């Protein structure tokens, strides 16, 4: 039986910016389920972001769910978000959880991180063996030396990540992506 991995993503585009390499590498060896809490903060970006996200995630052999919460209001709907996260953990029974880091600069990331930590307490859920925080390139306030697990992408994975990320025209990408951009970095909790 394949390990079960549950991934919590604050909003569409993070699945590409932060996790494209991970998804490429482990889509065949892990049973992956992704929950994306927001596809944008306004009707135009929501529709655009969710269509791109669908297109990117459908090429992977994974299950995902895109919810329609407004990222800027995550703190106002903490109870709803908490129930979704707890229900996902209880229903999917993951061996591994990946969540955005609490070191990120954006409040929506911190809210999701905090709720994920509460819902994934290993004393309650003995099926959870590993919990990791992931970083979104160019978003965190620490360098990758803060992280203890680095997934260096192969040239093929780098090209695929660039293709995925470039579909999101709303992102400010470095003109010449640096090495940090091509890493998928984690911190094990």
What is residue 46's predicted lDDT score, i.e. its pLDDT? 62
DSSP summary character for residue 136: -
Report how many domains make up the chain.
1
Alpha carbon 154 to chain centroid, angstroms: 20
Which residue has tokens 């065949």?
Answer: 28
Measure the CA–CA gap between 170 and 95, rounded to whole angstroms.
34
- For the chain, the distance separating the N- and C-terminal CA atoms, rounded to the nearest angstrom, is 24
Give the separation between CA 62 and CA 33, rounded to whole angstroms: 6
Token pair in block for residue 72: 């800027």
Domain range for 175:
4-188
Q: What local confidence, expressed as pLDDT, does residue 77 receive?
A: 93
For residue range 3-47, what is the model confidence (pLDDT) as tens digits?
A: 999 999 998 888 888 888 888 888 889 999 999 998 766 655 666
Q: What is the pLDDT of residues 112-165, one digit of tens each?
A: 999 999 998 867 888 999 999 888 765 555 455 556 676 777 888 878 887 887
Name the phi and psi angles at 148, rounded to 5: -105, -5
pTM score of the predicted model: 0.85
In the sheet that 149-152 helps form, which strands lie side by side, from edge to edge? 63-66, 31-38, 4-11, 96-100, 130-134, 183-188, 149-152
Please count the residues of the chain: 189
Alpha-carbon gap, residue 170 to 48, rounded angstroms: 10
Domain containing 160 — which CATH number? 3.40.50.10320
Digit-coded pLDDT (tens) for 158-184: 788 878 877 876 555 555 455 555 556
The b/e string for 105-139 (b: 16+ C-beta within 10 A; e otherwise) is: ebebbbbbbebbbebbeeeebeebebbbbbbbbeb
d(CA 92, CA 89): 5
pLDDT tens by residue, 61-108: 789 998 888 878 888 999 999 999 999 999 999 999 999 888 777 788
């Amino acid at each position: 039986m394949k390990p079960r991995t549950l991934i919590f993503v604050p909003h569409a585009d993070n699945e590409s910016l932060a996790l494209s390499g991970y998804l490429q590498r482990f889509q065949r060896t892990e049973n992956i389920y992704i929950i994306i809490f927001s596809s944008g903060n306004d009707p135009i970006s929501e529709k655009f972001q969710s269509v791109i996200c669908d297109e990117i995630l459908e090429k992977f052999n994974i299950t995902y769910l895109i919810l329609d919460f407004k990222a800027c209001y995550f703190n106002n709907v903490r109870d709803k978000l908490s129930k979704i996260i707890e229900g996902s953990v209880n229903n999917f029974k993951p061996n591994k959880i990946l969540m955005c880091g609490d070191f990120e600069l954006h409040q929506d990331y911190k809210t999701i991180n905090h709720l994920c930590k509460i819902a994934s307490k290993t004393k309650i859920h003995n099926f959870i063996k590993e919990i990791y925080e992931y970083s979104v390139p160019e978003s965190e306030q620490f360098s990758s030396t803060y992280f203890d697990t680095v997934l260096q992408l192969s040239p093929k994975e780098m090209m695929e990540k660039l293709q995925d990320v470039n579909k999101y025209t709303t992102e400010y990408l470095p003109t010449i992506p640096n090495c940090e951009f091509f890493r998928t970095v984690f911190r094990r909790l």
